[in-house]
Structure 1
C-alpha cells in the first residue's frame, strides 16, 4: 500500500484480527536493522472510532496483516469489578454497513509500520 492510499480499511472483522494476531505470535522472523519496525503511522479515524466506544482504556494488539506488515489492532477495554481485569470491548459492524456479511464484532486498524511508511 502506498502512502497515497493511507489509511485503507480501518474496520477489521474480529475473525480476521484473530488470524493476524496468531500470525504475529507464530512469526519467527529475525528483526534486522533493515526490517525492524520503529513506529506506526496510525490514522486518526482509527483512534476516534475506538475512543467512541466510551471505555475505560484502549488495548492495542500486534498482528501481521495480509500484506505481511506488522500492524496494531485497537479495541476498547472496560474494567470488570468482579474479576478485577480489563475485558475487550469491540466495535460492531451493522448489516447496513456491510451487506455481504452478517453484523459482527470489529477491531480498528489502518496502522502502517515505519519504516517503510
Structure 2
C-alpha cells in the first residue's frame, strides 16, 4: 500500500463530518472509504464510494483527519486532485465529487468522461 500525497483526493469539512457519522453507524473501526472509478453511465465512467475493510498493497491511501480514503491505482489516475464534498439542498443531500480531470459529464451528472 502506498501513502499518497494529500492532493490525490481532498475532503471538505461537511463531507468529513458525514463520513465520520456514517462510519460510527457501521461500528467497524477497520473500515476505510474506498473511492473507485468504474465503467458505466452514458459518459463512460462513474464514481463508487463505499466502506471497505480491505486495503490492497498497491492502493493509495489518503488520511484526512482520521478518515482513510483508499483509491486503487487505476482509479487514482482519474481522480487526482478531486474533492469530495457533502451537499444538502432542498432537493436532497449527498456526496458530490468535483474532479478537475473530467472533460464532459452526462445530462444527469452521474457519469463522466476523462
Query: Which category describes the TM-score, using the shorter chain as reference length?
Result: under 0.3
Higher relative contact order (CA 8 A, sep 6+): 1
Q: Greater Rg, structure 1 or structure 2?
A: 1
More strand by share: 2
